[in-house]
Amino acid sequence: MNEITSEEKKYNKWIVVLSIAIPVAVAALFGIKLPNVEPLRFLPPIYATINGLTAVLLVAAVIAVKNKKLVLHERLMKTCIALSAAFLVMYVAYHMTSDSTVYGGEGFVKYIYYFILITHIVLSIGIIPLVLITFVRALAKRFDKHRKIARITFPLWLYVAVTGVIVYLMISPYYA
């Protein structure tokens, strides 16, 4: 049964739209500064914590599915998606009210920071369609295809979540 179900077709359009719209909207909103608004400086540690929690829950979800606790797996994955959405809202809100923080480290550590940051950003864009496709395949009960793409989605999403925390920890001394 390799045919795409009608449910998958319905969602595929949304996957394409969201996979393009989210990064474009974030990039556009990133450049907008709200006038006369107090900077939301309290948000970075909160959304870094959300990234850390997402990483922990992703690992827990994999453990749950390996132990055939499918309802728990589903709940954990839905929670990870909700946490990622909350992160995105907070991240945009912070950058619409605050200037970007420049990394102040020097030497080899600076190269490590920028490598982690760039791979984090690129993969955070690429993970959007992967998460959505993986989720839709589960919704459509196409578990063979779900497992196949989840083997790609999981390590990349985990990398994005963990590097989000690392980026925060590395740049946090330089917040104004």
Say which CATH topology domain 6-174 has. Four Helix Bundle (Hemerythrin (Met), subunit A) (1.20.120)
Q: What is the pLDDT of residue 29?
A: 87
pLDDT value of position 3: 76
Range 84-89, long-range pairs (CB < 8 A, 24+ positions): 84/54, 84/131, 86/47, 86/50, 87/47, 87/50, 87/51, 87/54, 87/164, 88/22, 88/26
Note the pLDDT of residue 161. 98
- The pLDDT assigned to 83 comes to 98
What pLDDT score does 76 carry?
98
Distance CA 117, CA 62 (A): 26
Domain range annotation of the chain = 6-174
What confidence score (pLDDT) does residue 93 get?
94
Per-residue pLDDT of the chain (176 residues; tens, 9 = 90+): 567 777 788 899 899 999 999 999 999 988 888 988 999 999 999 999 999 999 999 999 999 999 999 999 999 999 999 999 999 999 999 999 998 889 999 999 999 999 999 999 999 999 999 999 999 999 999 999 999 999 999 999 999 999 999 999 999 988 76
- Alpha-carbon span 95 to 32, nearest angstrom: 8
Q: Are 101 and 91 in contact (CB under 8 A)?
A: no
* SS3 letters across the chain: CCCCCHHHHHHHHHHHHHHHHHHHHHHHHHCCCCCCCCCCCCHHHHHHHHHHHHHHHHHHHHHHHHCCCHHHHHHHHHHHHHHHHHHHHHHHHHHHHCCCCCCCCCCHHHHHHHHHHHHHHHHHHHHHHHHHHHHHHHHCCCHHHHHHHHHHHHHHHHHHHHHHHHHHHHHHHHCC
Provide the pLDDT for residue 176. Answer: 64
pLDDT at residue 2 in the model: 63
| Dihedrals phi, psi of 138, to nearest 5 degrees | -70, -45
Name the nearest CA neighbour of 128 among 39, 17, 1, 49. Answer: 17
Asked if residue 116 lies in contact with residue 174, where contact means CB atoms within 8 angstroms, the answer is no
- Single pTM value for the model: 0.92
Identity of the residue numbered 119: T
